Every structure is written in structure tokens, then in C-alpha cells.
């Protein structure tokens, strides 16, 4: 079954955050969002806005499109 977009995105955020050695709190501070919001995104509990996608991509030092690309996990 195809992974839904919220799960896919949340997994990509988690993978990139962990790859860069950041806690959820550190990423949240960099992105200007609340720590619990990052957790909710990673658990696919939030339907994230485009503005927040841009903030998170920037905080992870990625281009937006990179958060939507399949990676080898």
C-alpha cells in the first residue's frame, strides 16, 4: 500500500533531522515552531502548511523539493 503524503513527509523530516543530529526541540527552534508541532508532523498527525514546510526545509538546510524525494532508508 502506498504511504500517504503526511506519513511520507513526516518520515522524511525525521530522517533528515536525525541524520543531522538534531533533536525535535533543536529543529523546532531553528524553524520557529513549537517542539510538539515537529513531533506531530513526524507522526503524521498534522496536515502541515506550505509556509511551515518552507520553514522546516530551511531549518534542515534543504530545498523544499528534497523533503519530497524518496531516499534509501
| Cβ–Cβ under 8 Å, residues 61 and 29 | no
Domains observed in the chain: 5-64 (1.10.260.40)
pTM, entire model: 0.90
**What mean pLDDT is predicted for residues 6-29?**
97
Q: How far is CA 2 from CA 5, 6, 43, 53, 68, in A?
A: 9, 12, 16, 21, 14
Task: Tell me the pLDDT tens digit for each residue of 54-73.
Answer: 999 999 999 999 999 987 75
Amino acid at each position: 500500500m502506498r504511504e500517504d503524503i503526511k506519513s511520507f513527509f513526516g518520515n522524511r523530516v525525521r530522517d533528515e533531522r536525525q541524520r543531522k543530529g538534531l533533536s525535535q526541540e533543536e529543529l523546532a527552534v531553528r524553524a520557529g515552531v513549537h517542539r510538539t508541532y515537529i513531533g506531530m508532523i513526524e507522526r503524521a498527525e498534522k496536515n502541515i502548511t506550505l509556509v511551515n514546510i518552507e520553514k522546516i526545509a530551511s531549518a534542515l538546510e534543504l530545498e523544499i523539493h528534497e523533503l519530497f524525494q524518496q531516499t534509501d532508508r
